[in-house]
Amino acid sequence: MSIINELFSLKDRVALVTGGSSGIGRAIACHLARAGAAVVHAALPREEKALKEAVKEVETLGARAAYETCDVSNLD
């Protein structure tokens, strides 16, 4: 393992990615997975289909993944 990989390894860490169903959030989730993190995608309920696809994408990278529908802009 290179020194860079050692310094930035996310092995045994869990990353929560809001907006993880598409765009920048989904890309960040993939990069976190490549760095060794398990990824939890979060997005609005209307994005559930895209969340399921994002989870499959991360799993193809060899990482654990899950999703949760929620509205992080609302404390209730």
Q: Is residue 74 part of a domain?
A: no
- pLDDT for 1 equals 57
Residue 32 lies in a domain: yes
Task: State the CATH number of the domain containing residue 8.
Answer: 3.40.50.720
Q: How many independent structural domains does the chain possess?
A: 1
| Residue 63 counted as domain residue | yes
The predicted-structure confidence for 3-28, as pLDDT tens digits, reads as follows 777 777 899 999 999 999 999 999 99
pTM of the model: 0.85
| CA-based nearest residue to 48, from 34, 30, 66 | 66
**CA dihedral sign, ordered 68, 5, 34, 63:** negative
**Residue range 30-70, pLDDT digits in tens:** 999 999 999 999 999 999 999 999 999 999 999 999 999 99
Residue type, 28: I
On whether residue 47 sits in a domain, the answer given is yes
pLDDT reading at 76 higher than 80: no
Edge-to-edge, what's the strand order for the sheet holding 38-43?
Answer: 14-18, 38-43, 65-69
Asked, for residue 76, whether it belongs to a domain, the answer is no
Q: Which domain holds residue 57?
A: 3-69
